[in-house]
Amino acid sequence: MKNPYDYLIGGFSFIYVDMSLYGETPDILPDFIGYAFFVYGLYLLPVVHNLKLWSEIFAFILMVMSFLVELDQWLGSMLLGQVSEQFIQFLLIVFMYCVFQLLLHVHEQKQLEIKTFETYQKFMALMLCGFVIQAFAMNVGASLRENMLFIGAMLQLMAYILFSIYCRAGSKYFKEMKKVHSLQ
């Protein structure tokens, strides 16, 4: 069985990292692929819960929305503009909240459950604080705006690192569980 945590961190990496050559070519790691990873990763999670289905649907909707935004950028029409990107960023935070709610239901191991909860607290706080700071950065002076955007980006980078560390721990746990099941 494939490891769902690898897909989750892969998906988040695709969403978080924007790579374009010299700032002119379109994003090499498009966000919609990241959401597709999320859909598959959530599908692989060993849990039976209503939230799983809802999260999958949510990820699918985000995938379609981000595809439209990317398409808009590729074509250069810029009909949706910067606002749509920020709106999707907010939806991503809400989506990650749903994912964490689901992850809190997955584990039977106490240690990993505690880790999930701690990561949830820090990750969500950092992501939301980053988003709010970036939202307020729109209406300040140019010099202060750059600083605020930088702080927001740093907070979200910290959230990304935290999530990757958590996924690594989850991946380890999943491999151990797989070994135990294969021995049985």
Partner 1 sequence: MGDFDNELFDVLKERPDKEPDKVFSNQMRQQLQKGQIVKRKRVSVATILTIPVTMAVLAFLIMICTGQTLDIKSAAQLSITQEKSLVFTGSLCILIALLTFIIFVFSKGYTKGWFIFLMFSLSFLAWVMNTVHAENQHLEEPTVPTNSKSFDHDQDQSLSLSDKEGR
- The residues of the shown chain that bind partner 1, judged by CB under 8 A, are 83, 86, 90, 94, 97, 101, 104, 117, 120-122, 124-125, 128-129, 131-133, 135-136, 138-140
Q: Which is nearer to partner 1, 33 or 69 (CB)?
A: 69
- Asked whether the beta carbons of 116 and 123 are under 8 A apart, the reply is no
Q: Which is nearer to partner 1, 77 or 139 (CB)?
A: 139
Helices (H), 76-141: 81-106, 110-136
Q: Which residue has the tokens 């380890």?
A: 172
Tokens, residue 160:
């990304």
The least CB distance from residue 179 to partner 1, in Å, is 31
The least CB distance from residue 33 to partner 1, in Å, is 26
- Cα 92 to the chain's mean position, in Å? 6
Q: Which is nearer to partner 1, 29 or 51 (CB)?
A: 51
Q: Which is nearer to partner 1, 36 or 102 (CB)?
A: 102
- Cα 156 to the chain's mean position, in Å? 10
